[in-house]
Every structure is written in structure tokens, then in C-alpha cells.
Structure 1
Amino acid sequence: MYKKLLLFVVPIFLGIDFPNIKPPTDEILWDKWGIPHIYASTDDNLYYMMGWAQMHNHGNLILKLYGEGRAKSSEYWSEDIGRDKLLHQLGVLNASQKAYALLPQKEKQVLISFAKGINTYAEQNPNELEEKYKVVLPVKPEDILQHTFRVFYLEFLINRNISKANKWTAGSNGWAIRGSKTTSGNSMLMANPHLNWDDFWLFFEAHLITETNDLYGTTLVGLPTIGIGFNKNLGWTHTVNTLDNVDLYELTLQNGQYQLDNEFHDFTIDSVQIIEKTGSEKKATTVLRKQSAFGMVYKEEGNKAIAIKWPNTDGKLNIIGQWLAMGESQSLEQFQEALAMNGLPLFNVIYSDKENNILYHFGGNAPKKNGDWGKWQNIVASTSSDDLWQGYYSSEEVPTYLNPESGWIQNANDPPYTSTFPAAIRPDDYPSHMAPNAMGFRPQRSALLIKDAMNLNLDQLIALKHDTKSEYFLRIKEDLRNINSMELDSLTKEALEILLSWNGAFEANSTGPVLFGMLAKELGSKGVFAEEWDLNDPLNTPRKLKDLSHVTSSLQIAAEKHQQIYGSLAVSYGDVYRLEVGNHSFAANGGAGSLGIFRTMNYSPKGNGQFFATHGETYVCATEFGKEVTAKALMSYGNATQAHSPHVGDQLELFSKKQLRKVLLQREDQLQNLEKREQLSQMQ
């Protein structure tokens, strides 16, 4: 994922002497890809310029997101009154305000400086911003934390449990490799998060240099601290983990109270008024916040109510502080101390360092509760205090392991027990509600790609990362040969021949992927295989098609649909699936993770049988921790969203070619690839 020089986290690390790092005067060197290399003499200046830089590339988006985080979308823009209400009703906004009040001064100052940089940019560059978003100005430090809570708690956690999000898809791949598997003997890291290609899901890439540290990485737009990154000594990436820390309860009501054990209790109730705007008309709407021991009330009907329990409603957990500490870490021990803060609400952590350590950690606020995994996947009808959370598991109690004998760690959103083989931990070692026990085709593909790879250099690691073959197809290809082609009509027979001659790769010039995608849809997701997945044979199961007659009829339907839409079965994948950002358009490669494709891409229809990429591969960074850290990276959609920026989609061609950029860690390289230079004095 990255190499030795920077770190994907937040800006600065104090108290560490790096005499070779002597940043010049405070300034930003903008390279030709729109990536800011920020040189700062103080933390305040660093975060101030980080705020300025994000506004330069994403000004309109940032103001929009902060307005939404305030729960004022309806008041400002006549939009999303439902989300405004939910942010109040479920206590997300209130929790962020509590969290800001509890922030240590160090983290609070980060937000203050970041907000100041945002506001100064807006004052000096009013013509770069849309008028409708200026209503959000001035940005307050609290806005940044409100946005953070909206993204992490409402979007990442709550919405995927109440099905409010639009096809929310968890994603990401990550690899950590020990020196025993590399030609140089150096450890390596591959970061590969998957999120939507728009809005609050977007990443921002930056390089942060002070007298005490040199960091490189990415963060979600609107956040000051880098969340995936590396420095001269270590680095990490995140994947969304199989963590269940949002639960829905069905409560029993009587006379406005809810039952807990053998008594009825009052809700804690308060209210807030929000402005609902329709056209030019405004009206005040009252939103009730009703809190029970089981969580915040989401809806009521008759003598029942649904309550939602989610972590950190008291604001005591510190997301900003943990990422700061992770970034400031210069050793494994310091990094583990940062993990022990348990401030992040979710995410696996995959780690590698210069001392040839690799680490897996099942991060997040994992609640202690009774019952197995299955119990908590549905609404729990309860009146018993036995079903209340009993705090969170500590970082030492969740699945974690260091330097497995395999020499590698992978995670592709699978549970912790399948992240290396031979397995370093087992499900029986942990409470049954901690995580499920399963492994889909994408994590299997991930493990199969890396487990037997030896003598890797960085470019070879990157080549493995760009694999587009479908593990699902490879698993059933031989079974397809058992279909009796003599019983098929000519179109279905042609379809079978196309699939049997295909190597399973979702490349732009391949003619099998579109047809196979249709076949997989017709087959359905359940009951396809005679042998289901088995932890004792995790990389070879499920296997053996259960019902060839069902497969044959599904293939016939898929072939007919394909022919009807495209007029031929011999259609190139890249003619149907496209990469489109700004004015850039290229043939796509990669496909759905559900098909077992490591290079994960999801698409939305654009009409005429075509699709365009909307989710999947976002930021990719491959790093080698040698004497000098080296790294290559790519931001699929570019590092900017401002309409007239040349960096909207400017990396998309490299993406289509499965190429990464050299990460410009050295000042000389930055100057040779310089687009613009800004002194701090010009930003004040």
C-alpha cells in the first residue's frame, strides 16, 4: 500500500526528533495531480492549510456536507427533511455536541485551525463557491465533529441497520505482507477502500510534513485527520468489519411508558424545533427525542415502539484523537496504545511496519451482550434488562493477532477468523455475538491471490491487486462443462461456449462478463451449491452446482435477455460498463464483489443497456517499508470535485489501465511535478 515516507492518518506527530526533516517556510506545494504537500512549522499552521487545501479542491461539497451535518438541509435548501429529523430524533447531533465539549484541547485546536482555514479560503475566494452553499459560512469547529458523527454513526452504522441508505454497500480490501514473502525482505501494505464515488463517501489525498513527522494518506472529505496512511516507520489501512454495534429493540408500551423487567419506566424526553422549507415557505417542525434504556425511539405504533441502540451516544469516545494517536505512533507499541483508545466506532485495522511486523485488529465499539450472532440480526422484542448492553469489549478482548506464521494478512470485509491461513484465531475463542463465521467469494479470492505468492516486489504486489477474475465463475466453470449441450437451443449453446472459453476475468475486452453477470442474477444467491461454505475448507467451498437443470434454464433466460438487449452474445465488457467522471470516459474493468472479484466495482444503469461506475475502488496505495519508504497510489475519481478543477477525473485513465502513480514523497519530486505553490502568507 504505501512505502516508507508518509502515513494515512492525521497530521502531526509531536516530540519525535527527525533531524533530516527540515520543512521550509509554511507552504503548500500542489503537484500535477492536485495533491497538496503541506509543509508546516506548527500544528496550527498544518491544520489551517489542510482546511484551506480541502476547500480549494472540494469547497462546495464541504459546505454542503457541513450544512447537512447541522441538520439544516431543509432550512437551507428545501432538501432531506427526513435526515434532518433523524439526526435529532436518534440523538446523533446531540451526541456530537457532547463529544465536542469533552474533546481534549489538542484535538479541539485541530478543529479550530481546520475551520479557520476553511473560512479564510471562502473569504478570499468567494467566486469559487456556489451562492447557495455560502449560507453555511462561517464554519464552526463544532460543524466538523457534527459531520464526523453524521458520517460514522448515521451513515456507516445506523442507516445500514434500518435500511434507510440507498443500497449501502460495505467495502474494502487490505493486505499486509511480511518480508518473508518479498524479494527485499521488507514488509508491504496494500490499502484498497471501497466506497461510493460521490458525496460524503469521497476521499481526499494529502501529504503533511512538519519538523517532527512526514505523513501521507487519505481521509474522508471534510475531516482534518488522515484515516488511512503511513509514515517513515509504519502504516495501516481500514476495511469495514462485521461488527454488530447497532441493535433494534421492540419495546412494550403502557400509558406512555416502556416496560423494563417487571416495571414501566418513563422515557427521557426533550424536543427541538427545526425549520422545514418548501419553496419560499418556512414552518417550524418539532422533533421529539425519546430515550429509553434500550436506546432512542425510532417509531411507535399502538402499544409497541422500535428503539435503536448505537455506540457513543454520550460522546465520550474520541474518533479524532484515535486517528491522531495512530498517526503519531512511531513503533508497534505506540500504535497498539492508540488502538487501545477504542475511539473509532468500527473498522478492521491492517498494519505493517519497518520492523517487519504485521497486525490484524478487529476495531470498533463492540458491545458486550447476551445471545448469539443470529439473535441480534433482527429486531429483538424485549422487556428484560438481560438484553441491555454491558459496556464495550476492550482492544485486548476483540480479535487481534500479530505476525501470523503465514506471513500475510488479508481482509475483504470478511469476519476476523478468515484473515489468514493457517488461521491465527478461531471463532470459539470469542463470544458468539462478536462476529459471524463465513467467507464470501471476494475474500476467498483475496486469500488465494496472496497466500502462495512469494518473492514479491512492489510492482508484483500491485499486479496481484489488479486481478479481475471472478472466483464464483472459476468455482463453477468445470461444473458448467457437465451441461449437455445437445439439449440446448442454438442461442443457449452459444452462450455456454462463450462461458467455457472465457478465463473469468472482467476486463474491458472480455466477452464473457456481461453474460455471466446475467447468469449469476438468474441463479440467485441461495441454494446454488451442493456443498456450503466450511471453515475447515474455507478456500474451496462452497462448491458443486446443486441443480444443473436450474443452471441450464437460468442460462437460457440470461442468453435471451442478453440477446434482446445487445443484439449479440459477443459483447465486450467495456462497451457496456464504463468509467465516467467529469468529462472523462473509459472502458471499465472489475466487477461486483459478490461475484468474487477482488477489483471490486459496482455500477448503476445509464440507459441503453449501459452502466457507469458509482461505487468500489476508490483510493489504492501500495507501500514498501524499506530503508526509504516507497509507495504508489491512485485516487480513482481524482482529488477534486470543484467544477472547474482539472483534477476532476484526471486519474481515471490510469485507473482504466490498472496503473498507479508514484507517490511524491521527496521535495525534489514535488518541485519537478509542481502545478502551484502557495505560501501561508498568501492564505491569511
Structure 2
Amino acid sequence: MKWVRAILATLLTLALVYALNRTFGIVPALGPFLSPYEGFWRSGSDDDFTSEELTLAGLKAPVQVRFDSLRVPHIFAQNDHDLYFAQGYLTAKDRLWQMEFMTHAAAGRLSELIGEQTLEMDRYQRRIGMVASARKSLEKMQADPQSKAVMDAYTAGVNAYIDQLSPRDYPFEYKLLHYAPEPWTTLKIALLLKMLAQDMTGYSDDLRMTNTLRKYGPAVVKDLFPNYPFREEPIVPAGTPTNFTPLPIPPSPAEFMAGMASHTLERQKPENLGSNNWAITGARTANGYPLLASDPHLNLSLPSIWHVVQLHAPGINTYGVIIPGAPGVGIGFNERIAWGMTNVGADVLDWYEIRFKDQKRQEYWHDNQWKPVRRVVEKINVKGGETLLDTVLYTHHGPVAYLPNEEPLRSGNTPTGHALRWTAHDTQNELKTLILVNRAANYQDFRKALTTWAAPAFNFVFADARNIAIVSNGLFPLKWQEQGKFLLDGSNPAHDWHGWIPMDQVPQVLNPQRGFVSSANQTPVSPKDYPYYLGSSFAGYERSARINQRLAAMTQATPDSFRLMQMDNYSFVPRNVLPTMLKLLDQPALSEKQQKVYQTLASWNYQFDADKIPPSLFEEWWQRLAHAIWVDDFPQDKFKAPTRDRLVQMILAEPNARWYDDVTTPQKETLPQLVNRTFKQIADSLGTEGDQLKWGTAKNSNIRHMAQLPGFGEKLFSGGSANSINALNGSHGPSWRMVVQMGPQVQAWGVYPGGQSGNPGSRFYDNLLNDWQSGKLHQLLFLRSAADRPATTSVQWTLKQH
């Protein structure tokens, strides 16, 4: 018996040791994770952040780094190599895990870290050609000596930090997922830029639009899905003349609308989730110099998606934010200019139906001949599992994401048997743009820098001491009208892209008469004023209308004027449609509870403030009404519903439209019936009282950990809506609020939801979150030279060459 107990105890000990040193999905290997010597305890707070002198191999000269009270590094180097080496080192110290996680996600390598749970995500990233296109872009960037030198220096700096780490010093997430950092490479920088392109342009409505065309025909599609909305305030003011001779527009094939096949579906572009930026001329400001605001809206996460830095070396002194893992400054300012970006949203991703010769799929039909298929084998390593070899088929259009016999990543949301044509596959040198913009001294320098920016296309807002401008810049395919609005024929060369819109002919305006420029992802330019087709699926006009309304009224604008604008919660959506909806109610037939809801909405000022109840009532009513009108005709799993702009127009001007009738019921429904029924539903179920009805609670906004780790995010109680300037909706919202005052001495203010550190134990992990929620901006400390020693930079590091 004694031996039996001994054997059982030994087996139990062995099992426990095995379990403690093995990961189970996202659950860490608890042995190493809980170790007092190397576990997560070592990833504690950094409250003892003090001045240091470090010796690093790879530097050419000493580098001075001053940290301000927000722990932003101000890097003073004597040459470009050391400048970007130091930026790489310091960014890795703050955000190494984030950098590696994002590039693994972009490359389709998450399964190496997490396991088979992310296998299909990895397969999808490989299938759409993310790594292949990143390699092509890397070749383009490295062919430019300046870009290559910057990438090499930055990469060396990151690796200098990685090389000095021991397992006990790994960031918290490495210990949680039980893996070690790998060496940084220049390919990872290219992958980050591709990830940005995917986030901004990796969507398409082609399949749903094709299904709609097949079911209802061209007349209904033209009526319900117009290429230009009923209400719009384009980025380039209407009537602005062009000063170029356009290229010939490719002819539209006669059979374009015919022969559309039924297909599975792809991801639908989210409506009204985007960004804002604007600038106002000095004639409208209090100090006589232009003001600029940049307000990019992205998925909010912890660690923050931005890292803040000042870079100073001979020929450069710039301040701003950048995605951790990329060198330079992406959005920011220097001593002469300021700039910001919003997503254009042009149609730069199309799907081509491929006709293979046979089941071997070695050839496909195009231009009346069989052409060879290129096969690329992707090797996907799976943590705790077998390595997967996945073959991706490439045509001249691009990769075939899924074959007809395969199950897509999101069942019913990704096309099968189609090749992907996407500007992210085309090579330019976006890094070169950032390098030159960071050093630009005037508008001419700025425009020259943009000529190497391809994807994603951005609305670049600009200001210097005398000028304001906005340029919708990127690589835009030269298309015939509506090309890419529906699925395209991969065998017909007339359906191929036919070149590019010249960079000097993209939508742009310099110093417009109205005294301001702005963008909010709306249509870049009216078709009446522009010869080229850019697409038909841009954000609604509401945010841009509110921005322009406020800017037009400014005569003595200050930085605080812009700060208050960025927190504006007003929405044109209820202003436009709610009075009509209320008029359609049969008010005498309403119960006492319903009357209270009616009065609450009737007295609303259309502000989506966090502590107000009317926004919750309106949003619920509007969503139920839209669903009641469209769900029978355009079920979401098969069709794209018409836009909000089209529905508002229909409610206001088309009381007898056929779409109000629910075709699944024997009776004929009318607009008043639907309005009254949906109103009573929300009034009876919601009422007008209770903290749960306050908009800040009801909208359920939050900021999550980037890897969705529970316990490392926060609930948000904030105002705003998808259609307000303060466009906080769900986990999507203002990721970096910046205001820059031009003049002899540039001044700037900013805030973002998070902090500089990626360590959850650091006080700089989320120290700015409350200020961001309340709308407070911090003055951004912009040092002119290494001799500047303000009291707020008491921590100083000296990086010395080995």
C-alpha cells in the first residue's frame, strides 16, 4: 500500500508539473507565469522611472532623451541613424508585445502564439496576400537609400532592446501566453503599413450589391443606391474648378449589368465610422495664424494604438504619434507645418470571378486564352498542434481567397471562387512619405512627399503659417463609372483596372474662399466637378455638415474653440428625421407612458450627451423602424440595406414607397403604421426613467485590451455618436485628439485614450483615459533644442555608443 501511495503521489506531481508548464489556449502555463523570479510579478509598476545612462551597441554618437510628465520621449540625436535607432529602442521598451502581436496578426501568425483558435484568421490573412504584398513593398522601400537607412536603424534599435531582455523581464503578455520575443525585422515595418491599409480599405459591398441587382434590377439599384447622396458637403467645396486635363475614362462594357451570378457574401463596410480633421485660415483665428485639428477614429484598445514621440536631429524636429513598430511621426507637426489624416474610403478593392480550366486549377480563362495560375504554399505554425501547409492560388488580378468548395472564414461573408484586386497589393513607398513630411517646410514640400503614398488613401489636412489645404491622396484606380460597385468578370479584360489617376489630379483644395477645409470621410468631391469615379460608398454627410456649420461661424477661433468642437455631441440625423417621425404618430391614441416618451423626444436638442435619455430612445426607435422597413426586402445575410441617407429621404419625401409594406404578411403596411408600432414598442419597453437609459450607459462603449484579455480594459461613460463630431460608438472612436496653433512658435495640444506604456502595471498605461473622456487636452511639450530644460522634463536618459 505504501508503494501504491508513493506511485500515485509521483504521478500526481508529474501531472501537476506538466499542467503548470503547458498552455491551454489563451490560459498561460501557470508555473512560469506564477514564478516569483520570472513570472508576471516582475511586470509590475514603473513608478521608480528615473534618469539613466545606457550603453548600446549600434549607436554612432551619444543621444539625449528627455521624458516629460506624460513620459513622452523627446529624442535629440546628432544624426538620422541614431535618431531612429533610439526611437526603435524606446518604442520597444514601451510597447514590444504590442508591436509583435500586431505584426503577427497582419502576417497570419497568431496561431504560433495562441493556438488553433486563430487558425482561420491566419489562413485568411495569408489568403488575401498580406505577407506577399508586404514583401513587395519592402523591396520598394529598401530600393530607396533613405528609407532603407531609416528602417535598418529603427530595426537595430528594437533589437538592441530585445537583446538585453531576460525571460524575467518580458512584458506581461509574453508570460501570459508563454512565448518569447523574436528579433524585429524590416518586414514587420512593411506589415504594419499593410495592416493600416487593411483596416482602412479591407471591405467591399460588391457581393451584396450584386445580389440586389439580380433580385430587383438596375432601376431599383439606381433608385435605392445612388452614386451620390441626397445630402452632401464634399471635402472639396462644390464648384471648385480643376486645373488639369483628365485622362480618357475607360468605356463601360455593354454587358456590365448582365450575367451576375449568385454568390456568398463578404464583409460590409461599417457606416459612419471614420475620422475628422479640419483647418481654418488665420483670418478667422484670434492670433491671425491658421489652426489645425486632427481627430482620427479607430478601434480603441489598451495599450493605445498610438505612441507619442518628439524626434530631433539635424534637418528634423517633429512631434506627433505613430503606430508602435513604424519609424517617424504619422500625425503631428514640426516647426513649420502641421498635418492630419482621415480615411478616404474610395473603392480600391474589387472581386473578380475566376473561371478555372478544370479541377486541377492550374489555368484560368482571361482575354480569350488560358493563363497559368501561380501557386504559393503558406506554412502556418500552430502552437501545440501540427504545422499547416496552405496553398494560395494567384491570378494576375490577385489571390483567390477561397475556392468554391471551401468554407470561408466568416460563413456567408467572404466570396468563394474570386480573386482579390486591391491597392494594398500595389507597391509604393509610404514610409518615404512620412520621412519627407516630417521634414517639410511648406506646402510644396508636403505635396511632393505625398506622391509616394499609395494605400490606404487618406484625406491629408495641412496648415503652415500662411496656408491651409486638404488633399485626398492615394493610389486610385482609373475606372469606368460604377466599376467595382458589383462583382466583376475575371475573364473579361475590359473589367481589369486600367491604370491610375495621376497623383497631381487627386481631389484637393488650397486656401478655399470659405476660409476653412475639413473632412469626415464624406465624398471627396462632387461628380459634377471631377471627371473620375472614386466609388459610391462614403460616410454620411452629418459629421461634415456639423463641422462646417461650426467652422463657418468662427471669426476669432482659439485652440479651445477646436477642443470644444472635438467634443461636440450634436447629430444631424435626428434633426433631419425626428420631427417627421413624431408628426406621423397618432398622439391621441398614446398611453400616458407613451406620451412621456413623446414629450421627451419632442423637447430634445439633438445632443448625444452621456447623461441624457432622449438619445437612447431615438436610437432604439430609429433602429427598429429601419429594421421594420428593410428586413423583409433586404435580409442582412444576403443583401446590403440602403443607406441611412436614402431612408431619411424616403421618410421625408416618399410617403407611399413600396418598401414600407412587409411582403411576408398578408396585409399592406404603411409608413404611419410602422412608425406608430415601433414607437409604442420602444416606449412601452424603455420608458423615460432609469440610469440604464442614460446614453453613456445604453450605448455600451468600452475600451478593450488589444488581445481581448479580460480585466485589462474599461467601460466608458461618454457622449457622442457615430454621426457626431465626437464619434464615439461602441469600441470605435477618437484615438488621438490634436489641435495645433501655427505661428512664429508652433503650439499644440493633444490627448489619447491610454498612455505611453504597454505595461498594465504602469501608471502610464491608461493615465490619460479620464482626461480623454472629459475632453481635456494636454499642451504638448515641443522642445526646440537639446538645451531646452523645462522643469517637466526631470527624467533624462543618455544613450551612449558601446
TM-score (norm 2): 0.72
For 1:63, give the aligned amino acid. Answer: E
Instruction: Provide the C-alpha distance between the structure 2 equivalents of 1:270 and 1:579, rounded to a whole number of angstroms.
Output: 40
Helix, strand or coil: the match of 2:354?
strand
Does the 8 Å CA contact 1:509/1:574 hold for their aligned counterparts?
A: yes
Q: Please, which moves more after superposition, 376-385 or 299-308?
A: 299-308
Does the 8 Å CA contact 1:366/1:434 hold for their aligned counterparts?
A: no
- Give the match for residue 90 of structure 1: 128
Instruction: Provide the C-alpha distance between the structure 2 equivalents of 1:302 and 1:583, rounded to a whole number of angstroms.
Output: 40
- Give the match for residue 552 of structure 1: 676
Give the alignment partner of residue 743 of structure 2, picking from 607, 610, 626: 626
Q: Please, which moves more after superposition, 360-369 or 614-623?
A: 360-369
- Give the match for residue 661 of structure 1: 778
- Give the match for residue 324 of structure 1: 435
Instruction: Provide the C-alpha distance between the structure 2 equivalents of 1:636 and 1:643, rounded to a whole number of angstroms.
Output: 14
Structure with the higher fraction of residues in strand conformation: 1
Deviations 1:111-144 (A, max 9, x none): 2222222222233344142244753422122222
- Give the match for residue 19 of structure 1: none
Does the 8 Å CA contact 1:365/1:392 hold for their aligned counterparts?
A: yes
Helix, strand or coil: the match of 1:446?
helix
Q: How far apart are residue 344 of structure 1 and its match?
A: 3.8
- Give the match for residue 68 of structure 1: 105
- Give the match for residue 606 of structure 1: none
Instruction: Provide the C-alpha distance between the structure 2 equivalents of 1:645 and 1:168, rounded to a whole number of angstroms.
Output: 36
Does the 8 Å CA contact 1:250/1:305 hold for their aligned counterparts?
A: yes
Residues 516 and 170 (structure 1), Cα distance of their counterparts in 2 relative to 1, 3 Å cut: closer
Instruction: Provide the C-alpha distance between the structure 2 equivalents of 1:583 and 1:671, rounded to a whole number of angstroms.
Output: 34
Deviations 1:522-567 (A, max 9, x none): 1227979xx9969xxxx9999579544433322222223324xx97
- Give the match for residue 297 of structure 1: 400
Q: Please, which moves more after superposition, 490-499 or 71-80?
A: 71-80
- Give the match for residue 330 of structure 2: 227
Instruction: Provide the C-alpha distance between the structure 2 equivalents of 1:497 and 1:661, rounded to a whole number of angstroms.
Output: 40
Instruction: Provide the C-alpha distance between the structure 2 equivalents of 1:200 and 1:380, rounded to a whole number of angstroms.
Output: 40
Q: Which one has a bigger Cα radius of gyration?
A: 2
Does the 8 Å CA contact 2:302/2:754 hold for their aligned counterparts?
A: no
Asked if 1:679 is matched to 2:798, the reply is yes
Instruction: Provide the C-alpha distance between the structure 2 equivalents of 1:92 and 1:580, rounded to a whole number of angstroms.
Output: 27
Q: How far apart are residue 669 of structure 1 and its match?
A: 8.4
Q: How far apart are residue 62 of structure 1 and its match?
A: 1.5
Helix, strand or coil: the match of 1:333?
helix
**1:389-404 to 2 correspondences below 5 Å:** 389-404=497-512
Does the 8 Å CA contact 1:200/1:221 hold for their aligned counterparts?
A: no
Instruction: Provide the C-alpha distance between the structure 2 equivalents of 1:649 and 1:441, rounded to a whole number of angstroms.
Output: 31
**1:205-244 to 2 correspondences below 5 Å:** 205-244=308-347
- Give the match for residue 81 of structure 1: 119
Helix, strand or coil: the match of 1:366?
coil
Q: How far apart are residue 643 of structure 1 and its match?
A: 1.4
Residues 216 and 545 (structure 1), Cα distance of their counterparts in 2 relative to 1, 3 Å cut: farther
- Give the match for residue 472 of structure 1: 573
Does the 8 Å CA contact 1:44/1:109 hold for their aligned counterparts?
A: yes
**1:406-421 to 2 correspondences below 5 Å:** 406-417=514-525
Does the 8 Å CA contact 2:344/2:472 hold for their aligned counterparts?
A: yes
- Give the match for residue 696 of structure 2: 574
Helix, strand or coil: the match of 1:377?
coil
Q: How far apart are residue 501 of structure 1 and its match?
A: 2.4
**1:48-63 to 2 correspondences below 5 Å:** 48-63=85-100
Helix, strand or coil: the match of 2:101?
helix
Deviations 1:394-441 (A, max 9, x none): 211221121111111111110112xxxxxxx65452223455587432
Instruction: Provide the C-alpha distance between the structure 1 equivalents of 2:628 and 2:507, rounded to a whole number of angstroms.
Output: 29
Give the alignment partner of residue 270 of structure 1, picking from 369, 376, 386: 376
- Give the match for residue 21 of structure 1: none
Instruction: Provide the C-alpha distance between the structure 1 equivalents of 2:627 and 2:344, rounded to a whole number of angstroms.
Output: 21
Q: Please, which moves more after superposition, 519-528 or 652-661?
A: 519-528
Deviations 1:199-229 (A, max 9, x none): 7981112111223222111112221122111
Instruction: Provide the C-alpha distance between the structure 1 equivalents of 2:712 and 2:382, rounded to a whole number of angstroms.
Output: 36
Helix, strand or coil: the match of 2:147?
helix
Q: How far apart are residue 575 of structure 1 and its match?
A: 4.5
Give the alignment partner of residue 592 of structure 1, picking from 691, 708, 721: 721
Does the 8 Å CA contact 1:171/1:413 hold for their aligned counterparts?
A: yes
Deviations 1:89-124 (A, max 9, x none): 333212222322332122122122222222222333
Aligned residues: percent identity? 20
For 1:401, give the aligned amino acid. Answer: V
**1:389-538 to 2 correspondences below 5 Å:** 389-417=497-525, 426-434=527-535, 439-479=540-580, 482=583, 483-524=585-626
Residues 460 and 154 (structure 1), Cα distance of their counterparts in 2 relative to 1, 3 Å cut: closer
- Give the match for residue 601 of structure 1: 728
- Give the match for residue 6 of structure 1: none
Does the 8 Å CA contact 1:318/1:344 hold for their aligned counterparts?
A: no
Does the 8 Å CA contact 1:176/1:187 hold for their aligned counterparts?
A: yes
Helix, strand or coil: the match of 1:644?
coil
Gaps of 5+ in 2: 1-60, 206-264, 407-415, 631-642, 656-670, 705-710
Instruction: Provide the C-alpha distance between the structure 1 equivalents of 2:85 and 2:453, rounded to a whole number of angstroms.
Output: 27
Q: How far apart are residue 519 of structure 1 and its match?
A: 1.6
Helix, strand or coil: the match of 2:474?
coil
For 1:472, give the aligned amino acid. Answer: V
**1:180-259 to 2 correspondences below 5 Å:** 180-198=283-301, 202-255=305-358, 256=361, 257-259=363-365
Q: How far apart are residue 247 of structure 1 and its match?
A: 0.6
Asked if 1:156 is matched to 2:200, the reply is yes
- Give the match for residue 766 of structure 2: 649
For 2:201, give the aligned amino acid. Answer: L
Residues 575 and 265 (structure 1), Cα distance of their counterparts in 2 relative to 1, 3 Å cut: closer
- Give the match for residue 351 of structure 1: 462
**For this pair of structures, how many residues does the alignment match?**
626
Q: How far apart are residue 350 of structure 1 and its match?
A: 1.2
Give the alignment partner of residue 142 of structure 1, picking from 182, 187, 210: 187
Helix, strand or coil: the match of 1:137?
coil
Gaps of 5+ in 1: 1-23, 418-424, 604-613
Instruction: Provide the C-alpha distance between the structure 2 equivalents of 1:445 and 1:599, rounded to a whole number of angstroms.
Output: 11
- Give the match for residue 311 of structure 1: 423
RMSD of the alignment, in Å? 3.3
Instruction: Provide the C-alpha distance between the structure 2 equivalents of 1:115 and 1:231, rounded to a whole number of angstroms.
Output: 24
Instruction: Provide the C-alpha distance between the structure 1 equivalents of 2:350 and 2:703, rounded to a whole number of angstroms.
Output: 38
Residues 665 and 165 (structure 1), Cα distance of their counterparts in 2 relative to 1, 3 Å cut: farther
Does the 8 Å CA contact 1:147/1:222 hold for their aligned counterparts?
A: yes
- Give the match for residue 562 of structure 1: 686
Residues 499 and 264 (structure 1), Cα distance of their counterparts in 2 relative to 1, 3 Å cut: same
Helix, strand or coil: the match of 1:680?
strand
- Give the match for residue 449 of structure 2: 338
Q: How far apart are residue 585 of structure 1 and its match?
A: 6.0
